[in-house]
Structures are given as C-alpha cells and as structure tokens.
Amino acid sequence: MERRTFLAAAAGFAGLPLKAAMPAIVIDTHTHFYDTARPLGVPWPAKTETMLYRPVLPGEFVKLTKPLGVTGTIEVEASVWLEDNQWVLDLAAKNPVIMGTVGHLEPGKPDFRKNLARFQRNPLFRGIRIGAGDKGFAPGLPWADVVSDIKALAEAGLELDSIGGPSLLQHVVRLTDEVPALRVVINHLPFDPPENGPAREAYENALRELGKRSNVYAKVSNVPRLSGDRVPDDVGFYRPALDELWEIFGEDRLIYGSNWPVSARLAPYGTAFKVVREYFAAKGQEATEKYFWKNSNAAYRWRRMPA
C-alpha cells in the first residue's frame, strides 16, 4: 500500500506544472524511533496501539522515504525514560540519516541542569520537547524554576519543541515573553481551532502574536484530515489551513515534518508529502528550499550533513 502511494506520488510530481524543482535536501523534522523488542521494552507506544507497537527503526524510514527524496530526519523523543535520550544518540551514531534528536528532559526538575549538561555535549542533541495543556508547561512545578531552566536551554544554543492543542499557543506566548532568545518550534500545525467565540479568539490572537516573533517556527506536521471515509491528497482541500500558516509565519518559519510513524494511523507517508510538496512548489524554488531544509537548519541548527 505504501509502495503504491509512493509510485503514484512520483508519477504525479512528474506531470505537475510546478514552479519549483524538488530540493536536493529534504529534512523531515518529526519522526520517532524505538524498539519494542528490547529486553526492557518501551514506555511508548502502548501495546494496545497495534499499528505502532513494533520496532520502528531508521532502516525502515529510509526505505519508505528515499523514493520521495527525503535525505534526513530530526528524531523527536516520545519516551519519558531518561536513558532513551542516550539510546537515540547511540542509534544516530550508526545511522547518518538522523540529523539530530530533540530529547525528553523536564525543566523545573532538580536534575534538569545536570542532564542538560550531559546530553548537550553530543552535537546531535538539538533541543528538548515539552508539552502544554490548559494548565501550561510543567504544571505543578514552580514557574520560576521552569523559566530558569528554559533560559539555560536557550543559552546553550538549543531549541524547544512545544506540543499540545490550540490552548498551547497562549503558553508559548507567555514563555517567549520570559525567554525571548529561545527558539521554539510549535509541533503539529495546522491545529483544528476551537469553535466557540472566546476560545477561538484567544487561539487566533495567540497564533498571530507568535507569527510576529522571529524565533518561533511552525512545524507543518499535521496535514492529513478525514473527509467522509477517505483522506484526500488534493492540495486544494488543505489550502485554506496552509494559507493561514503561510500568511502568519511566512516563508522563513514554516518547517516540514511528518510525525511518522504516528501519521500512518491516518494516511500513508506519501499523502501528506504530496500535499505539501505541491503547495510549496507553487510558491517557488526559494520557498521550497526554505520549507524542506533551510528553515529547519535555522531552528534546530543541525550540523550533520545528509548522507
């Protein structure tokens, strides 16, 4: 099924009147690697996640994405186990397709600085990922301690991947008020915005405010949507949501990501790739290069060149 999708996508690209050629470098900034066959197992995904609960390793990613021209990836760590940061760094040392990793450390915890100092010595460690819900980042921990640790992250030249739903955005505004030098990558845009008045207004205000902040990047890694009983691969279906992100963040701060293998629960890898490829190709060569790799280099400052 995946192979048929890739062949169809490649054939479709060949016949499109695109304004931009495929860039020589394509960095997917959002993948997860893990090995459920390890003796100690994994904390994520759960065994009940039948599509995801299996070894997911770089060899499969390369086989899946090379026909589409993907040359490298940033791994984003979903495991809460501290030593899985090292596990991924060890994996990256053997697999040059991994351009870097966004680790899982908890700002505000007593050992954050020690762990940050340990992992930042490896140049493939490019930042950390934390989530925020209605109660914000690191709920239950002193906000001053969280901010202090995030300042240390920024001073180390590392970035922050932020994950959550629409309510996440107001917390990113607050955090970047406190730490303006921090580079932030908002994960899994475009969001489905709230429907009711006040929540919708707060969401839109926060999104537009973040669009004014040059250190905040938008990771376009949540594109496919169900329409009835199918997932369209027509760029026109997704254009309104992509146009909004383009209008707010512009060509310099939109970044490509897939969220693979989680994305495969909804659609094959090639579906979202086809949509964003067509959308950005219509914007021209420079916009295409920026989206697929230049902007991710500005956000993550990855140093390893694609294999």
pLDDT, tens digit, for every residue of 219-261?
999 999 999 999 999 999 999 999 999 999 999 999 999 999 9
Averaged over 93-102, what is the pLDDT?
97
**Widest Cα–Cα separation across the chain:** 56
Fold assignment, 2-105+186-300: TIM Barrel (3.20.20)
pLDDT band at 40 (very low <50, low <70, confident <90, very high): very high
Model pTM score: 0.93
How far from 151 is each of 113, 135, 178, 185, 303, CA to CA, in Å?
11, 20, 9, 16, 22
Total residue length of the chain? 307
Q: Which residues contact 71 (CB under 8 A, 6 or more apart)?
A: 24, 25, 26, 27, 97, 306, 307
Cα 71 from Cα 155, distance rounded (Å)? 30
Q: Does residue 9 have a pLDDT over 60?
A: no
Question: What pLDDT score was predicted for residue 53?
Answer: 98
Question: What pLDDT score was predicted for residue 26?
Answer: 98
Please give, one letter per residue, the 3-state secondary structure of 31-61.
ECCECCCCCCCCCCCCCCCCCCCCCECHHHH
Question: What pLDDT score was predicted for residue 307?
Answer: 67
Q: 51: closest CA among 284, 283, 267, 233?
A: 267
Q: Does residue 3 have a pLDDT over 50?
A: no
Per domain, the residue ranges of the chain are 2-105+186-300
Q: Does residue 20 have a pLDDT over 90?
A: no
Averaged over 108-112, what is the pLDDT?
97
Is the distance from CB of 257 to CB of 224 less than 8 angstroms? no
Name residue 298's amino acid: A
pLDDT band at 19 (very low <50, low <70, confident <90, very high): confident
Q: Does residue 189 have a pLDDT over 90?
A: yes
pLDDT band at 6 (very low <50, low <70, confident <90, very high): very low
Question: What pLDDT score was predicted for residue 18?
Answer: 57
